[in-house]
Amino acid sequence: MGNEHGKDFEAQVRDMMAEDAYTIRPSSAPYTAIRRKGTTERRRRVAAAGAVLVALAAAPVAAYAVNGNGGDGSVNTAAPLPSTRASQGTSPTPAQSAPVGPTGPATSRQLLDGITLAQAADGLEKCIAWRMEGQKGVSSRSPLTDLGDAADYRIILALNSTGDSNAPGDGIYIVAVKEQTTKPQLTRLICNIKDGKAEGVNISAGSLKFDNGGPVMSDDNGKLDRQSSIDKGNWKLPFGWGSIGRYESNVTRVTVSYGGSTSEAALDHGWFVATGTLNEQVTLAPHVKGYDNTGKVVYDSDNDAGYNKTLP
């Protein structure tokens, strides 16, 4: 059968196929574009994996496998490495913060009679709480009524306390100081603990300046270096005593003599702390001397008009 051009149908089809061969034949694969796309994708995955490794190196608390079983380069946060795997059925332990409490003394010999820093800190907290409980309802706020937190203090001495007729029962003394340079002001407290409970607090507060005109100033608290004046001449012996006070920066050594023996004081951030054992009844107060870095005596309590040289 022919058509309008005079060709039979078969011939027409052959002509059309010959003319449109490119149209019906698949085009060649775009290898260049595919290769470029593949290279770009690999670079993206390598960069992502590198970023993950950098992040893991910066945060060693938890490391994770970079590639999952699928091999697609994704981060598998559900599969921690064995070295950091938490125990099954338990939550990871959070990082522990540093314990909050008072600062310890400069030397170990300021904690006597087996008293640990933890015990001294616990006693200090109890004494502050005891004092604040007793001050409820007091409208005025001063260093004598508002002691602040135990963490604000430095413990400079802890030793056994000896009971007497005025305050029966042995316990421990804890001496702590707090300096406020913004005011400026200094608070010193002596805490007495008996049977694990606060029994009393002796507090002094005042200026950072010395009021005796010398480079050393003793703290005459009437607690650490003597038993009750009621029992004067009849103290329980042996008696462990302490002597504290302040010194200026030009003083590099302090000694305290008491009852025939001399003790080298520890120097702790502007405070001197001396201790010893009394084996005889005494009537004279501790004798304090301060020295400079050449060994010269720059303070002698015997020459200090404001120092009580005899015991009451």
Q: pLDDT tens digits for the chain (312 residues)?
A: 444 444 455 555 555 554 444 443 444 445 455 455 555 555 555 444 444 444 434 444 333 233 333 333 333 333 333 433 334 444 444 444 445 799 999 999 999 999 999 999 999 999 999 998 887 766 666 667 788 899 999 999 999 999 988 888 999 999 999 987 777 789 999 999 999 999 999 999 988 889 898 999 999 999 999 998 889 889 999 999 999 999 999 999 999 999 999 999 999 999 999 999 999 999 999 999 999 999 999 999 999 999 999 998
Q: What percent of the chain has pLDDT over 90?
A: 53
pLDDT of residue 128: 95
Q: What is the pTM of this model?
A: 0.67
Centre a 10 Å sphere on the Cβ of residue 58 and count the other Cβ atoms it contains: 7
Beta-bridged to residue 175, according to DSSP, are 157, 190
Chain centroid, CA 271 distance in Å: 21
User: How many whole angstroms separate alpha carbon 63 and alpha carbon 75?
Assistant: 11
Query: Which tens digits make up the pLDDT trace of 219-272?
Result: 999 999 999 888 988 999 999 999 999 999 999 999 999 999 999 999 999 999
